[in-house]
Structure formats: C-alpha cells, structure tokens
Amino acid sequence: MLELALSEDCNLACKYCYCETSRDVARKGLMSEDVARRAIDWLFEAAGDATYLGLTLFGGEPLLNKPVFKFVMDYSDRLAQERGKRIRYVMTTNGTLLDDMAINYIKRHNFGLMVSMDGPGEIHDSQCPFHDGTGSFEAVAAGIKRLMKRRKRVTVRCTMTNARPRMKELIGFFEDFGFSRIVLGCARNPNAASPVDCDSETLEAFAAQEESELIPWVFEEIEQGRIPTWFPYANSIGETLRSQEKRDVQLFRCGACRGTSTVGADGMLYPCHRFVGMSAFAIGHIDDGPNLKSARDFWRQYDGAVRDSCASCWARWICNRPCPWGVARLDGSFQMYKDFECERIRHGLELSAYVHWRIQTQHPEMYETITERALGTRQQPSAVRQRIPEPEPLETDGQR
C-alpha cells in the first residue's frame, strides 16, 4: 500500500486542522506528474508477487490537483492490467471539487471514499470556512449530492469540536442527507491543540451521549433488522473475529513504516499521511525507497515510549497500543498518552465488548450479517466462504 499526498494545500481553512502546527517543513504544494509516476513505479516494483495493491489519494485536498489525479488513475490502472494485479483505491476529500471526471473514476474503480462534512450549515461553516472566511457548506453539499446521483453508498466523516454538538442530531442530519455510513470523530492535536480541540471534559460529555443516547438507538436499529449508519463497534468486532480465525494476536494494528508509507508532494517518504511535513520522521525519498533503518528506529523509539505504560494494561492486546502520530512530538520523539486518554480508550473497548455480546446473544441473525461485513466475506453458493477485499475509506481521528 502507498499513500500519495497529491496536494499538500487545501481550499478550506478548517479551524482544527493540524497541518500547520504539526509540521516544520513548509507545504510543498501540488505533486508533479513525475513524482507520481516514480511513486507508482516503486509501488509495483516493491509489490513483488502480491495480487492486491492499495493506493490512497490524500491531501490537503487531493482534487486540487486534478491533472495528476487523472494521471495517477490512468497510469496505475494500465500497469495493473499489464501485470495482472488489482488495486484498491481510497480517497478522502472535502467534496467541494467533485466533478464528473472525478466521479467517473470513483464509480468505475469502486473507490473506498470518505467525504468530510461537519454537520448542518451553521456548524460546518463555523468550523470549515474557505480561506476568505466565507462558508463552504453549500459547495460541499453540492459536490456530495452530485456524487450521490451516481453512487448509492457514501461515507461521511464529521469532526466534532468543543462546541459539543448533539451526536444523535448529527446522525439524524446525515441520514436525512443520504449518507450510508457515518463516522464521528473528535478534533485532537497532540502537539498544538487548537482553540476548538476537544479537552478531557468534552470527551467525557461525548462518551456520556454515546452511552445514554446512541447505544439505545443502535439497538433500536438492530431490532428493526438494520445495521446502524453510525456503528463504530464494527472494527472491534472484526478484529476480534479475525484474531479468532487466525488464532493469534497482532502485535501492531498500525501499518506505518510496515505495510504502507506516504509520499509527500515533493517525493519525501513518511510513515503515514499524518507525519507529512514533520522532518524528524522522514524515512527517505521515493527515488531511493524507504530507509529501513529509519523505519526500524521509528518503531523502536515508539516501543520504548509506550512499553511500560501498556505492559500492565488489560486492554493491551485489544487496543494494540496508541496511534504513533497521537503520541509523536515534533523533535522525532514519542510521549505516552496522559492517563485520561487511556481510560477513554479502555472505556470505549468495554462499550464495544458490551455491544458485541448483546448483538451476539439477543440478535443472532443480525450478528451473522454484521460479522460477514466486518470480515469482508460473502456467502458463496458452496459452503466455502472466500475473502473478498472491500475498499474502506481512510479514517483519521478528527483530522483530514
């Protein structure tokens, strides 16, 4: 898998965006066709005999660079056909620049796609204006509606801030808008929190809403035979079942510096899209490929920072430890979460276990449907179930 930062720029000025405060390298603008070609060539060379490849288009806003977006699609698709491989394309976009050209590619290649919208106009515009201060909601809504005319299933990513919106009302708005899957995240920045980022009290308030309002709503949907549009417990159910299938426990959940890396607009390589522009975490250049020593050092330093705190935690083998970016510092070091962060994660895992158990015991037919989707399997005419790779959008914790 490879992530391409087609654009390190964005046409929006989201108030919680981490791209300025979490980087010490100036944004490099738009990726050139030459850098994109070298990155795709490297991906195919590094893939060896692998049948399935992953290509994630990210930003900034990737559709600011439509000529190279089109080149990436045509060039990678041609190489895949020539070499007998299949590519899973994934993209995150703010929706303002979706046009017929982009939608044609999204439709043709069944993209894993996530669009960003933070709620009704008054909420979205207050958090995600254009650079001149004007609201972006109408442009976002128009682009997404254009997409929905061609594609039935569209996932939305909503970032919640310390304004503390009602989560149930957000879900209702997004369902009415037509989204098939809803992701609610919190604005967070481990290096330099913005004025609208969520503090511990805000996170506790959202957790209280989840328990008192959202979980009862989830089971109302389940009882009606519907998989809820907001269902953050699917990942934990899927991970639990996969570990049972393989009879092992994954040492790492994160693929940074392992199964994937990100190519910046200038060709620099980083562990993942969140680290773009953080010079202390650069792991090479696309011309030479990743520096394996830098990749090993990344995980060695991370392990040293979190090992003691995680070793005594009952959730260690479920949580698989913190997101590396969430504990990274600009100087290249790592610093473990504060206690309240880990307590929040443990509480979330407890809620997931409860939801998992209750669906399994009280709604077995729905449980089978949910687990099939979580595992990426489909019932075949024979008794054999085959693994079907499903494109999933790239999720980030309250960030674009």
For each of the domains in the chain, give its residue range(s) and CATH number, in order of start.
Answer: 2-387 (3.20.20.70)
Strands 112-116 and 86-93: parallel
Confidence grade of residue 318 (pLDDT, cut at 50, 70, 90): confident
pLDDT at 263 over 90: yes
Choose the weakest-confidence range: 17-21, 70-74, 207-211, 372-376.
Answer: 372-376
Sign of CA dihedral 344, 320, 191, 21: negative
Sign of CA dihedral 37, 41, 47, 50: positive
Share of the chain above pLDDT 70, in %: 89
User: What per-residue confidence (pLDDT) applies to 239?
Assistant: 64
Query: Which residue(s) pair with 30 in the sheet?
Result: 7
Distance between CA atoms of 198 and 203, rounded to whole angstroms? Answer: 6
Distance between CA atoms of 369 and 26, rounded to whole angstroms? Answer: 47
- Mean confidence (pLDDT) of the chain: 88
Distance between CA atoms of 159 and 117, rounded to whole angstroms? Answer: 8
What phi and psi, each to the nearest 5 degrees, are found at residue 168? Answer: -65, -40
Query: Would residue 27 be called left, alpha or beta, if left means φ above 0 and alpha means ψ between -120 and 50 degrees?
Result: beta
Choose the weakest-confidence range: 289-303, 346-360, 365-379.
Answer: 365-379
78: its two tokens: 């041609």
CA 49, distance to chain mean position in Å, is 27
> Averaged over 212-238, what is the pLDDT?
90
Distance between CA atoms of 206 and 158, rounded to whole angstroms? Answer: 14
pLDDT at 238 over 70: no
pLDDT at 78 over 70: yes
User: What per-residue confidence (pLDDT) applies to 375?
Assistant: 66
Distance between CA atoms of 234 and 238, rounded to whole angstroms? Answer: 6
> Averaged over 345-365, what is the pLDDT?
92
Helix (H) or strand (E) holding 355: helix 339-362
pLDDT at 83 over 60: yes
Q: Is 158 helix (H, G, I), strand (E, B) or coil?
A: strand
